[in-house]
């Protein structure tokens, strides 16, 4: 494998990139290709004469051209396919286009459109991106990893495809998620695309529709479980440690039986985190922070109902605990304010629970004396009314779970309820902002997981805050990589949440603007990265540098998608 690097000419001070290939090989490599923007000198030195029309385009002209073509696509999936094809031929131009049009294109590059791409992956497949590691070839892990484009990989996003957004098991189609997530790292935090690697662990699928699909590209057997599954993950991690010893590993969209278990198994052995739990927890904490401060209240003043207690619900609850502890509560006092609900209702002692759910189960005496709609089962509505919930968080994937009864009761419980319908994609959202406004007569603070159009509150049109992990994980990754931390701790995510909250003014928060504008995502990621790097240093895990030096390193590490001069090196 060759190392990707930007060089500095010691005589002129010019930054340039060494390229090891010429002609069509160069043009067909998306990380190096400039398309019609190759200069006359580069065309001469790199054997490109005759491959492109004579006119030399500026990047601005190229952006105009590709945006014009993008705009002609009529459906989100068509737009997604067009952008992916651009990514496959010219990565620098792709990132310039998306960064310039972030608000418009991020919903295409990632949620909600990426969900449809994952579902139809085997039917849309055109060109491989990232690496596919199956249970059948795990013994060749080092040879597989040697097929990475470059040897100095800094970031790996890996999934086994079992819990893709709110869509469940998508098998090998889950690769759409790591591909999208690495793109968000580049757009959000400026990690260089050459140093990011999406990976799919194919251990089979339990999705019968995929197993019966003759075009399905993955292993056609049921998912491995137990020791067979664990051995695949173990060999994968050991291979990564050998081939990319300094890479950050992000676990993405693993099933609830494996997500926390895998994270805990490897979080001290390798620099890694699970965005579905820790990233979701941090951005949700930040949103709630903004909302309660906008109400001149505190986290510890609230009663929280979390509907859907898989890995995202667990991550949110765990992070909320840390936030309330910082406000002076004990762990037990903080847990008393959280009411977790799963498919069988409020999670209570004596129920058949997953191991991770047990630490948040409520005792039976909590509900003694509660008036229930149906004896023997504590429903979402029962919990909202009896617990007098002031914050309701949906991570269930159950469309319309927050019905008019639930939403109107929230408005009776508190003057300004906080409603977070966070399930992705849009079709899985627990409610729409319009439903919230109608049921609460506009007395509410709203955030959603997927993007929604502005909503009218008291005849004033307001943007809906998107509680998007993109506000957290790119900055966490950048801060971890720059600080060279050996592991990523829960305290780093608390620091990230605080950095995000600090960018929301009290005036904006009081008006329901709970997060910065997505157009400012680079500024957000920079602040988050600095906070994470400082926490890594202060905890003895990262490099010991001053705040000023860490800030300087982070700013310098944020790649801007522009063309640098090329020089050929054999």
**What pLDDT digit, counting tens, does each position of 200-256 carry?**
999 999 999 999 999 999 999 999 999 999 999 999 999 999 999 999 999 999 998
Q: How confident is the model at residue 147 (pLDDT cuts 50, 70, 90)?
A: very high
CB 338 within 8 A of CB 360: yes
Instruction: Give per-residue pLDDT as tens, 472-512.
Output: 999 999 999 999 999 999 999 999 999 999 999 989 998 88
Q: Pairing between strand 15-19 and 6-8?
A: antiparallel
185 is catalytic: no
What's the whole-number mean pLDDT along residues 374-385? Answer: 94
Give the per-residue pLDDT at 426: 86
The fold of the 279-468 domain, in CATH, is: Rossmann fold (3.40.50)
Q: Which residue is it, tokens 């995502």?
A: 521
Task: For residues 565 and 90, give the distance between their C-alpha atoms in angstroms, rounded to a whole number.
Answer: 15
Smallest Cα–Cα separation from 179: which of 196, 163, 204?
A: 196
Give the per-residue pLDDT at 569: 87
**Is the four-CA dihedral 242, 244, 247, 252 of positive or negative sign?**
negative
Record the pTM. Answer: 0.94
% of the chain surpassing 90 pLDDT = 92
Task: For residues 59 and 53, give the distance between their C-alpha atoms in angstroms, rounded to a whole number.
Answer: 15
Kindly give, in sequence order, each residue whose CB lies less than 8 Å from that of residue 73, ignoring residues fewer than 6 positions away.
79, 81, 82
Residue spans of the domains in the chain: they are: 6-57, 105-270, 279-468, 471-557
Whether 471-557 and 105-270 are alike in CATH topology: the answer is yes
Class of the domain covering 6-57: mainly alpha
The one catalytic residue in 110, 185, 216, 304 is 110
The one catalytic residue in 34, 79, 119, 181 is 181
Instruction: Give per-residue pLDDT as tens, 507-540.
Output: 999 888 999 999 999 999 999 999 999 999 999 9
Class of the domain covering 471-557: alpha beta
What's the whole-number mean pLDDT along residues 65-75? Answer: 98
Instruction: Give per-residue pLDDT as tens, 178-191.
Output: 999 999 999 999 99
- DSSP-assigned letters across all residues of 95-114: HHHHHHTHHHHHHHHSTTHH
CATH of 105-270, one of 3.40.50.12780, 3.40.50.10380, 3.30.930.10, 3.30.1330.10: 3.40.50.10380
181 is catalytic: yes
């Amino acid at each position: 494998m060759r190392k990707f690097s930007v060089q500095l000419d010691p005589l002129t001070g010019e930054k340039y990139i060494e390229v090891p290939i010429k002609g069509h090989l160069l043009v067909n490599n998306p990380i190096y290709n400039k398309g019609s923007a190759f200069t006359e000198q580069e065309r001469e030195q790199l054997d490109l004469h005759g491959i492109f029309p004579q006119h030399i385009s500026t990047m601005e002209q190229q952006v105009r051209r590709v945006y014009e073509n993008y705009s002609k696509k009529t459906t989100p999936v068509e737009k997604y396919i067009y952008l992916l094809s651009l990514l496959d031929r010219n990565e620098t131009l792709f990132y310039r286009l998306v960064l310039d049009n972030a608000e418009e294109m991020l919903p295409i590059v990632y949620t909600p459109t990426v969900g449809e791409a994952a579902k139809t992956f085997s039917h849309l497949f055109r060109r491989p991106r990232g690496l596919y590691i199956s249970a059948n070839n795990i013994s060749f892990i080092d040879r597989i990893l040697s097929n990475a484009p470059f040897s100095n990989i800094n970031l790996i996003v890996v999934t086994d495809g079992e819990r893709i957004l709110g869509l469940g098991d998508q098998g090998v189609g889950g690769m759409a998620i790591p591909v999208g997530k690495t793109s968000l790292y580049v757009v959000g935090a400026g990690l260089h695309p050459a140093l990011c690697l999406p990976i799919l662990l194919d251990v089979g699928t339990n999705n019968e529709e995929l197993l019966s699909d003759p075009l399905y590209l993955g292993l056609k057997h049921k998912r491995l479980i137990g020791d067979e599954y664990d051995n695949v993950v173990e060999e994968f991690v050991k291979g990564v440690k050998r081939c990319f010893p300094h890479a950050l590993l992000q676990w993405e969209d693993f099933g609830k039986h494996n997500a926390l278990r895998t994270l805990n198994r490897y979080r001290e052995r390798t620099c890694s985190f699970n965005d579905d739990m820790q990233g979701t927890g941090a951005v949700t904490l930040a949103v709630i922070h903004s909302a309660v401060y906008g109400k001149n209240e505190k986290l510890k003043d609230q009663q929280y109902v979390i509907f859907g207690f898989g890995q995202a619900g667990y991550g949110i609850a765990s992070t909320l605990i840390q936030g309330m502890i910082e406000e002076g509560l004990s762990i037990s006092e903080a847990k008393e304010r959280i009411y977790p609900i799963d498919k069988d209702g409020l999670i209570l002692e004596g129920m058949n629970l997953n191991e991770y759910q047990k630490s948040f189960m409520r005792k039976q005496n909590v509900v003694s004396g509660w008036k229930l709609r149906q004896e023997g089962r504590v429903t979402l509505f029962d919990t909202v009314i009896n617990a007098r919930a002031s914050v309701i968080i949906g991570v269930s994937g159950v469309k319309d779970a927050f019905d008019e009864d639930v939403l109107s009761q929230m408005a009776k419980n508190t003057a300004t309820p906080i409603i977070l319908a966070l399930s992705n994609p849009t079709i899985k959202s627990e409610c729409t902002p319009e439903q919230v406004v109608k049921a609460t007569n506009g007395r509410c603070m709203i955030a959603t997981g997927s993007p929604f159009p502005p909503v009218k509150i008291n005849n004033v049109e307001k943007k809906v805050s998107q509680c998007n992990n993109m506000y957290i994980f790119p900055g966490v990754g950048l801060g971890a990589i720059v600080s060279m931390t050996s592991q990523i701790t829960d305290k780093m995510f608390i620091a990230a949440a605080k950095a995000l909250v600090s960018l929301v003014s009290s005036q904006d928060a009081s008006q329901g603007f709970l997060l910065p504008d997505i157009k400012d995502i680079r500024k957000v990621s920079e602040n988050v990265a600095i906070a994470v790097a400082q926490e890594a240093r202060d905890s003895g895990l990262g490099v010991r540098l001053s705040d000023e030096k860490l800030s300087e390193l982070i700013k310098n590490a944020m790649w801007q998608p522009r063309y640098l001069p090329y020089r050929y090196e054999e």
